[in-house]
Amino acid sequence: MSKRKNRAKPNKRSRKPTSKPQAASTETANPVHVRSKAEFDRYVEDPLPIVVDFWAPWCAPCRMMAPIFDKVGKQFEGQVHFVKIDTEEVPEIAEAFGVRSIPTVVALHDTDVIDSHVGLMPEPALAKMAQKADDRAQGVTLRKRLARLFAGGDQQPAASA
pLDDT, one tens digit per residue, over 70-87 is 999 999 999 999 999 999
Report d(CA 96, CA 115) in Å as an integer: 16
Residue 61: is it exposed, middle or buried by C-beta count within 10 angstroms (0-12/13-18/19+)?
A: middle
Q: Is 60 a catalytic residue?
A: no
Q: Which residue from 137, 128, 141, 117 is spatially nearest to 44, judged by alpha carbons?
A: 137
What's the confidence (pLDDT) of residue 147? 85
pLDDT, averaged across the chain:
81
Q: Name all domains of the chain by residue range, CATH numbers in brackets.
A: 23-160 (3.40.30.10)
Give me the pLDDT at residue 154, please.
53
Query: Tell me, what's the pLDDT at 28?
Result: 66
pLDDT given at position 143 = 83
Choosing from 56, 59, 118, 140, the catalytic residue is 59
**Where is pLDDT greater, at 55 or 146?**
55
Determine the Cα–Cα distance for residues 113 and 102; give it in Å rounded to an integer: 17
Tell whether the torsion through CA atoms of 95, 130, 114 and 45 is positive or negative.
positive
Task: Compare 112 and 7 and report the one with higher pLDDT.
Answer: 112
Q: Is the pLDDT of residue 6 over 60?
A: no
Report the SS3 class of residue 81.
Answer: strand
Least confident of 13-22, 92-101, 106-115, 134-143: 13-22
Residue 62 designated active-site: yes
Out of 24, 34, 51, 62, the active site residue is 62
**Average confidence (pLDDT) over 96-116:** 94
Parallel/antiparallel/unpaired status of strands 81-86 and 32-34: parallel
Residue 11 has pLDDT above 50, yes or no: no
Average pLDDT over residues 103-124: 95
